[in-house]
């Protein structure tokens, strides 16, 4: 496949490395190359099979809009823009291309989502819950998209919205904890990302999976098929 990676940050660079290792042809654009999605025009996207976005919250929506207008599939790992998600999913459904979004493309984290969903039943047995998340000091959005996904799935399963506490420090890749506490005991659930490679591998595999598909997809719904 011919892949266009948007973002030269730590994750975007690793996505490019993983894509090369999986024998794809890769082009990478940084912020200066693609101000307000200016590079995402038909002439520049000719021959591109999919776009992968790991940029910044303010850049994600213009990039999605531009890619879909050009009929190109796009995988988005950037978070912090989800207030626009309903509009972007509708645009994908009508565009003839495909959009896949995830707060976290790690297979391990998606397994963790399932564990937390099951454990959230503790809230029906006199437990109280909290969510804690830690990321590197440069991360722009707080709470993280992953923490918000955890909050949402717990609310859907148990009917209670848990408080999220966020920390931004050092070069923490991503650590998420869900704690259920009762008068008798405490349940700790934790996912600690040791590197960004899991995110990168999931994003590239998502781009491969989207080939020939149209519409809106969420990685949590399809990762088992990859």
Q: Which residues are known to be catalytic?
A: 135, 139
**Who contacts 112 (Cβ-Cβ below 8 Å, separation ≥6)?**
176, 189, 191
- What token pair was written down for 212? 């020939």
CA distance to 27, 112, 162, per residue, from 158 (Å): 44, 17, 10
CA 184, CA 177: separation in Å to the nearest integer?
20
Strand partners, 190: 177
Alpha-carbon 150 to chain mean position: 13
């Amino acid at each position: 496949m011919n892949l266009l990676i948007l973002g030269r940050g730590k994750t975007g660079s690793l996505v490019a490395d993983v894509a090369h290792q999986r024998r794809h042809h890769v082009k990478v654009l940084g912020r200066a190359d693609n101000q307000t999605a200016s590079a995402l025009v038909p002439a520049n996207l000719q021959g591109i099979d999919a776009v992968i976005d790991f940029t910044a919250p303010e850049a994600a929506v213009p990039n999605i809009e531009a890619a879909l207008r050009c009929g190109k599939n796009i995988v988005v790992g950037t978070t912090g823009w989800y207030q626009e998600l309903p509009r972007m999913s509708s645009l994908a459904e009508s565009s003839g291309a495909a959009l896949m979004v995830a707060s976290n493309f790690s297979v391990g984290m998606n397994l963790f989502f399932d564990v937390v969903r099951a454990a959230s039943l503790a809230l029906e047995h006199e437990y109280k819950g909290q969510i804690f998340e830690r990321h590197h000091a440069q991360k722009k959005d707080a709470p993280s998209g992953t923490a918000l996904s955890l909050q949402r799935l717990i609310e859907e399963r148990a009917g209670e919205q848990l408080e999220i506490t966020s920390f931004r420090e050092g070069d923490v890749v991503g650590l998420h904890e869900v704690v259920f506490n009762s008068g008798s005991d405490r349940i700790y659930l934790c996912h600690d990302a040791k590197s960004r490679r899991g995110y990168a591998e999931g994003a590239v595999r998502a781009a491969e999976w989207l080939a020939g598909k149209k519409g809106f997809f969420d990685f949590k719904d399809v990762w088992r098929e990859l």
